[in-house]
Chains A and B, each alone.
Chain A
Amino acid sequence: MAARRISSLLTRSLSVSSSSVSTLFSSLGKNSGRNGIGKRFSTAAALEDLIVPPVQIAYTQNLIDGKFVDAASGKTFPTYDPRTGDVIANVAEGDAEDIDRAVAAARKAFDEGPWPKMTPYERSRIMLRFADLVEKHSEELAALETWNNGKPHEQAAKSELPMFIRLFHYYAGWADKIHGLTVPADGHHHVQILHEPIGVAGQIIPWNFPLLMFAWKVGPALACGNTIVLKTAEQTPLTALYVAKLFHEAGLPPGVLNVVSGYGPTAGAALASHMDVDKVAFTGSTDTGKIVLELAAKSNLKPVTLELGGKSPFIICEDADVDKAVELAHFALFFNQGQCCCAGSRTFVHERVYDEFIEKAKARALKRVVGDPFRKGVEQGPQIDTEQFEKVLRYIRAGIESNATLECGGDRLGTKGYFVQPTVFSNVMDDMLIAKDEIFGPVQSILKFKDIDEVIRRANNTRYGLAAGVFTKSVETANTLTRALRAGTVWVNCFDVFDAAIPFGGYKMSGIGREKGIYSLHNYLQVKAVVTPLKNPAWL
C-alpha cells in the first residue's frame, strides 16, 4: 500500500521474519532443499536460469532543456547487468561540454522562469502529478532499477518506489510552507528574512539507491524553486532518465531538471567546478566527497552538501532482546547487498550475550537467500560491478589474514556476475582493516565489548559518524548512548528507519549537512535579511 512508510514496510517484513522466523525460513529451506543444490546458500540454481526483466530501455540520451540529446562528443558508455556483467544498453556519455549546456539551460530556466516565479502551489501541483505518474509506472521502474543495480526486485517495487513517491508527496507539501522569520532588532528597524532559492543546483548521486537518492536531492531542490543539473552514477544511469521524462510529462518546464549521464572525473568534476552552478550536493564515497568540496572551493565557493561513507556501530547491550537484535543487525549490514552508507558494519556485542549472538548471527547469514534479484523471496542479489566485487573479496581476505574468525561465507557465489556469499567475521579487533574501512559489501564484523564507557569510546573512534544502532531495554542506557554517540542518526531498538521527515547525514568525515525532513530545505535556500528603518514605531 502506497501510504505505508518505508519504516513500517521494513518493520513489517522484519516482524514477519522475527516473529515467525521458523516458518519463513523453513519454507525457504524447503525450496533450497527441493533444489537440492548448495547446502549453505540456498541459491545457485537461481543463478543459472536468469529471469528476463519485464521492461524495455526507452531512454539512454542526456536530458537537457526538456529534450533528449546525444552527448556533444557523440560518445556513449555501456551500462551493465550485475547478475552477468552483460551490457544492458549504451548510454550517452556526458562530459564538460554537456555539463555546460545543461547548466546554461538550468540558468535560463532559473533566471527567466517560469519555475521560480510560479506560485509554490503550482510547483507543488506539478510535483504531486509527478508522484502520481511514477506510481502508475512503478512496475517498469522497479524492474529497471533491479536490472541496472542488482537489488531484489521486491525491495525496489515494495519499498523503494513507494518511498520515492512518498518523498515527492512530502516535498510537494513543503513548497508552500517555507517560512522566514521577522526579527527583533535593537533600535528602530523593521527586519524580515526571506528564504530564497539558491539558483542552479548541481547534484551528483550514487548507484546504490539510484531512485531514492534522486528523490532526496531533486525533491527539496525543486520544492524550494531551484533548477537542477543532475549527474547520475555511471553504473546506474537508466531510472533517473525515465523518471525525469515523467516529470516533464507532469508539467515540469524545460530546463528545470537536466540529467547528464557520465563519469565522475569528467562530468562530475565539470559540475563541481562550474562557475555558474550555485550549489552542489553530492552523495558517494568520502574520497570523492573531498574532491568535490575542493573543486567547489577552487572555483566559485559554491556551498556543498555531502553525504559520504560510514562505519556505523550497531551496539547490542547485555539487556537486549538477542533474537531481535540478531535479525536487525543482520538486516542493518546485509540490506541492499551491504551497499549502504549507513550499514551497521561494526556489530558491537556485550560479552554476556556475545556467544549466543555469534551463533545466531551465523545461522541467520547461512539462511540468507542469495540469487537472481528478480526471483521472489530472494534477499540478496549481486554487488554492483566487478570493481566493488573484487574490493569486497579483497577485504574478506584481509579479514582472514588478520585472524578474525570467519564464521561463514568468504567467497564469491556461483561463477557468473558479482554475487558474494553472506560473510560473517567474529573476534574482530578495532585495528583490523575490516573494522576500520567501509567495505560496502555483505561482510558482517562482530566485536565484543564489556561496558558502556568502553563501547562509546570505541564506537566513536572512527573518522566516520553517519549512524549508529543501539539495542537495550534500559531507558537510561539508551539516553546515555544517544547523546554520547557522534553520529547523525541513532536508531534505538531499530535500524534503517528511513522516513521522509527524518533528517539524515553525517558527523565528521561522513559528510556535511542533512538531507530529508525540514532540515534538507536549508541546503537549497539562501537567507536574505531585509532591514528598513521604522519611524515612530508603536512597539519594538
Chain B
Amino acid sequence: MAARRISSLLSSSATSLGRFSSWGRRIKSFSTAAAAAIDEPIHPSIQIDHTQLLINGQFVDAASGKSFPTVDPRTGDVIARVAEGDLEDVNRAVAAARKAFDEGPWPKMTAYERSRIMLRFADLLEKHTEEVAKLETWDNGKPYEQAAKIEIPMVVRMFRYYAGWADKIHGFTVPADGQHHVQTLHEPYGVCGLIIPWNFPLLLYSWKVGPALACGNTVVLKTAEQTPLSAIYVSKLFHEAGLPPGVLNVVSGFGPTAGAALSSHMDVNKLSFTGSTATGKIVLALAAKSNLKPVTLELGGKSPFIVCKDADVDKAVELAHSALFFNQGQCCCAGSRTLVHESVYDEFVEKAKARALKRVVGDPFKMGIEQGPQIDNEQFKKILKYIRSGIESGATLESGGEQFGSKGYYIQPTVFSNVQDDMLIAKDEIFGPVQSISKFKDLEEVVQRANASSYGLAAGVFTQNIETANTLTRALRVGTVWINCYDIFDAAVPFGGFKMSGQGREKGIYGLSSYLQVKAVVTPLKNPAWL
C-alpha cells in the first residue's frame, strides 16, 4: 500500500522474509534455492527504451557519439549500451538548464503550478511502478520486491512530499535595530548539479531532484555509470507530466569526465553529491577551484549499532542483521560496527550467525529473495579483499566469507565476531554483506569507541532504558540516531553526516535549505508606528 512508510514496510517485510527463510531450511548453509536460480537468471520482461542523454527535453546521443555498457550484476552480461556523456554534453546540459532558469518558465511559475506538475509526475510514476522496479533490479541487482514495494513507493512519496513544500517556503520578516524594515526572501539558487550513486538510483534521485525542483531550480543530473537506466526512464515521465524542457537534464557517464565537468562548471550554482568520501573530497575541491559553488555532500559511514545489556536481544539481532545486510550491505548508513554488551555478547553472536545463515541469497527477481549480487566486479573484489583481511587480522569468521555461486557478483552473508577497533574491517567502509561484531563493557567506553571514527553518519541504539537512550543520543557524533529501530527513512526525517560523512542534510524541511539562497531586503522606515 502506497501510503505505508518505509519503516513499516521494512518491519513487515522483516517478518515475512523470516518466513521465507524457514521454507529454505533444507539447505544448510545458505538457503538459496539459489544456486539453481543463479544458473538460470529470470529474464525481466521489460524493454530498454531509453539509453540516450536527456537534454533540453530531448533524447540525444553523446556529442562524442560514444557509448558505454551497463551490466546485469547477476551475470556480468551487458544489458544495454548507454550514451556516454562527457564535458561537451555537460556543457550543453548546463546551457539548457541555465536558459530554463533565466528565461523560465520554471522559476517564474507559481509554486502551485510547480507542485501540480510534481504531483502529476508522482501519479505517473506510481502507474509505472512495475516497469521502473524491474529496471532498477535489473541494473542494480537489488531484490525486486524491495524495489517494487518499498523503493518506488518511497520515490512517489518523496515527490508528493516535496510537491507539498513548493508553496510553503517561507522567509522571515526580521526585527532590526533602528528604523529599518527587513525581510528575507528564499530564492532558488539557479542551476543545480546533482550527482547520484548506484546503490539506490531512484531513491537518491528523489532526495535530490525533489527539493531542487520544489524550490524552483533547474537541474543537471549525472547518474552513476553502473545504474543509468531508471533515471532516464522516470525523467521521461516527468516531462510527460508537464515539466518544461531544460528544467531537468540527465547525463549518463563517468565521474572523472562528466562528474568532474559538472563539479567544475562555472555556470552551475550549486552541487549536491552522494557517494564515497574520497570522491566527495574531489567534488568539493573542484567546486572550490572553479566558482566556489556551495556543495552538499552525503558520503560514507561506519555506523555503530550499539546493543546494550538490557536490550531485547532477538529484536536487536534481527535489526542489526537488516541494518548491515539490507541492500547487499550497500548502504552508506549500514550498521557496520555491531557493538554488543559483554553480558549478551555470546547469545548475540550465536543468533546473529544463525540469522545470517538463513539469509536467502539468489536471483533478485525471485520472490522471497533477501539478497542479490553486489553491484559490479570492482565492488565484489573489494569486499572479498576485506573479508580476507578480517580473517588475516584474527577476527573470528562465524559464517560466509566467500563468493556465492560461480557467476555474477554474489557474496555469502558474512559474520565476523571478536572484531577489534584497529582492524581494517572495523575502520573502513566495506559496502558489502560483512557484519563485524565487537564486545563492549560500559557506556562511556562504547561512546568513546563509537565516536572514534572519521565518519559520523548514523547510529543504532538498542536499550529499554530511557536514560541510556537519552545519554547515547546526545553523545553520539552522528547525523541520525535510531533508537530501538534502524533504517527508518521517512520523507520528513533529515539525513546527513557529521565529520567526513558529509555536509548538509537531505530530506525533510532541512533538505530545502540546500537549494535556496537567502536574500535580505532592507529599506528605511520613516516615522514607524512600532519597531
Give the distance in Å from the alpha carbon of A389 to the alpha carbon of B138 in the complex: 71
In contact, A128 and B119 (Cβ under 8 angstroms): yes
In contact, B471 and A535 (Cβ under 8 angstroms): yes
For residue B8, which residue of chain A has the nearest CB?
A119
Interface flags for B269-308 (1: CB within 8 Å of A; 0: not) read: 0000000000000000000000000000000000000000
In contact, A173 and B524 (Cβ under 8 angstroms): no
Q: How large is the interface on A (under 10, 10 to 19, 20 to 34, 35 or more residues)?
A: 35 or more
In contact, A166 and B112 (Cβ under 8 angstroms): yes
A56 at the interface (CB under 8 A from B): no
Other-chain contact of A122, B3, B116, B181, B527 (Cβ < 8 Å): B3
Give the distance in Å from the alpha carbon of A480 to the alpha carbon of B524 in the complex: 10
Other-chain contact of A3, B116, B467, B525 (Cβ < 8 Å): B116
In contact, B3 and A119 (Cβ under 8 angstroms): yes
Distance in Å: Cβ of A177 to nearest Cβ of chain B: 6
B residues near A533, Cβ cutoff 8 Å: 467, 470
Contact A177 B470, CB 8 Å, known A124-B160, A169-B115: no
In contact, B163 and A173 (Cβ under 8 angstroms): yes
Give the distance in Å from the alpha carbon of A523 to the alpha carbon of B62 in the complex: 55
A500 at the interface (CB under 8 A from B): yes
Other-chain contact of B112, A5, A176, A483, A532 (Cβ < 8 Å): A5
Distance in Å: Cβ of B215 to nearest Cβ of chain A: 14
A248 at the interface (CB under 8 A from B): no
In contact, A480 and B467 (Cβ under 8 angstroms): no
B residues near A166, Cβ cutoff 8 Å: 112
B residues near A456, Cβ cutoff 8 Å: 529
Give the distance in Å from the alpha carbon of A2 to the alpha carbon of B119 in the complex: 14
In contact, A3 and B523 (Cβ under 8 angstroms): no
Contact A476 B526, CB 8 Å, known A3-B113, A119-B3, A119-B5: yes
Interface flags for B475-503 (1: CB within 8 Å of A; 0: not) read: 10000000000000001100000000000
In contact, B474 and A537 (Cβ under 8 angstroms): yes
Other-chain contact of B167, A179, A476, A500 (Cβ < 8 Å): A500
In contact, B3 and A174 (Cβ under 8 angstroms): no
B residues near A170, Cβ cutoff 8 Å: 112, 167-168
Contact A480 B164, CB 8 Å, known A190-B470, A534-B470: no
A518 at the interface (CB under 8 A from B): yes
In contact, A174 and B110 (Cβ under 8 angstroms): no
Contact A479 B181, CB 8 Å, known A119-B5, A176-B492, A532-B470: yes
In contact, B164 and A174 (Cβ under 8 angstroms): yes
Interface flags for B129-165 (1: CB within 8 Å of A; 0: not) read: 0000000000000000000000000000100110111
Give the distance in Å from the alpha carbon of A122 to the alpha carbon of B467 in the complex: 34
A125 at the interface (CB under 8 A from B): yes
In contact, A179 and B509 (Cβ under 8 angstroms): yes
Contact A518 B525, CB 8 Å, known A121-B160, A532-B466: no
Interface flags for A36-61 (1: CB within 8 Å of B; 0: not) read: 00000000000000000000000000
Within 8 A of A (CB), among B87-145: 110, 112-113, 115-116, 119
Give the distance in Å from the alpha carbon of A302 to the alpha carbon of B5 in the complex: 34
A415 at the interface (CB under 8 A from B): no
In contact, B112 and A169 (Cβ under 8 angstroms): yes
For residue A482, which residue of chain B has the nearest CB?
B181
B170 at the interface (CB under 8 A from A): yes
Contact A176 B474, CB 8 Å, known A121-B3, A518-B168: no
Other-chain contact of A174, B112, B168, B530 (Cβ < 8 Å): B168
Number of B positions contacting A (CB below 8 A): 39
Give the distance in Å from the alpha carbon of A118 to the alpha carbon of B3 in the complex: 9
A residues near B157, Cβ cutoff 8 Å: 121
For residue A534, which residue of chain B has the nearest CB?
B470
Other-chain contact of B491, A176, A179, A501, A537 (Cβ < 8 Å): A176
In contact, B163 and A4 (Cβ under 8 angstroms): no
In contact, B110 and A3 (Cβ under 8 angstroms): yes
In contact, A177 and B165 (Cβ under 8 angstroms): yes
B178 at the interface (CB under 8 A from A): no
B residues near A185, Cβ cutoff 8 Å: none
Most chain A beta-carbon neighbours within 10 Å: one of B112, B163, B165, B526: B112
A residues near B530, Cβ cutoff 8 Å: 483
Contact A173 B115, CB 8 Å, known A501-B168, A534-B471, A537-B471: yes
B528 at the interface (CB under 8 A from A): yes
21 contacts between A and B (CB under 8 A): A119-B4, A119-B5, A121-B3, A121-B160, A124-B160, A128-B119, A169-B115, A173-B163, A173-B167, A177-B492, A190-B470, A479-B181, A480-B527, A483-B525, A501-B167, A518-B170, A532-B466, A534-B471, A535-B470, A538-B474, A539-B474
Q: 10 tightest CB-CB pairs across the interface, nearest first? A: A173-B164, A538-B475, A484-B529, A3-B113, A122-B3, A538-B474, A483-B529, A535-B467, A476-B526, A483-B528
> What 13 new A-B contacts, CB under 8 Å, besides A179-B509, A532-B470?
A3-B116, A5-B112, A121-B157, A125-B3, A169-B119, A177-B509, A476-B524, A483-B530, A533-B467, A534-B471, A534-B474, A535-B470, A536-B471
